[in-house]
Structure 1
Amino acid sequence: MSQDLVMDRGTEDAKQFARILYVAHALTFLFSAGLLSILVLIVNYVKRPETQGTIVYSHHSWMIRSFWWYLVWSIVAWVLAATIIGIPIAVVVWGAAWLWAAYRIIRGFLDLNSNRAMPG
């Protein structure tokens, strides 16, 4: 019985840490357009193996995928911005990427609080 409590406590600690990472990702998107999110990404990669077999693992994977897709779309926006005609399109692409990342952070945080694993 005490081992179950330890495992539950470990999962709760991992969930709390994942919540902190969601908040850190959100803050980096608000204050650095996601540039500082690379630091949080590194922590996701370090902590993810410790959560194997729990719902928290799916949340680390969710945050990792979110970062990399946001980066891809940000690079696309910067490439488009390199052309004069592409600047308005680049703004739209970057804005859509930012909104998509915000959605993923909010959804992940809410699903974690509801004890739901993330898809994929």
Structure 2
Amino acid sequence: MDLDDIPMTPHDDQAKQNALIAYIFMLLGLVTGVFWLVGAVWAMAKANTAKGSVFYDHFQNITRVFWWSLIMSVIGLLFAIFFFGYLILLGVWLWSVYNLVKGFVRLTSDKPFHSS
């Protein structure tokens, strides 16, 4: 059975809306910085309300992107005195863009982040 055949419940609709808000903040945060934290906190705060929803793994994706990006950005900044620190920062930014855009597209297509 495909997810397209499964009717969305109000719980799924609310989870989708909260994930959409978090993705928008995170994507804006790639440019502005401040919204990055707002999107991550929103996703972490709303994740428990999305449990059992087909969109729960989007909250996991947003949280994973936030923490890994934060950790790798700190490492990149520490090594910024060397050229490869900037390469780390560029790689982190590109990886974040890819995962957030992929999640946004899958969410707006009514699909979980991880699916076959």
Matches within 5 A, 1:1-120: 8-32=9-33, 36-81=35-80, 83=81, 86=82, 88-119=83-114
How many residue pairs are counted as aligned between the two chains? Answer: 109
How far off is 1:21 after superposition?
1.1
Distance 2:35 2:105 in 1: 23
Distance 2:53 2:12 in 1: 7
Q: Any gaps of 5 or more consecutive residues in structure 2? A: 1-6
TM-score normalised to structure 2 length: 0.83
Distance 2:62 2:52 in 1: 17
Q: Any gaps of 5 or more consecutive residues in structure 1? A: none
Amino acid in structure 1 at the alignment position of 2:12? T
The structure 1 segments of at least 4 consecutive aligned residues displaced by more than 2 Å after TM superposition are none
Q: Secondary structure at the match of 1:59?
A: helix
Contact 1:55 1:118 in 2 (8 A): no
Q: Deviations over 1:27-68 (max 9, x none)?
A: 011112xx5422222221110011111122100010000001
Instruction: Say what the alpha-carbon RMSD is for the aligned residues.
Output: 1.9
Contact 1:59 1:118 in 2 (8 A): yes
Distance 2:42 2:22 in 1: 8
Amino acid in structure 1 at the alignment position of 2:72? W
Amino acid in structure 2 at the alignment position of 1:62? N
User: Which has a greater percent of helix?
Assistant: 1
Higher-Rg structure is 1
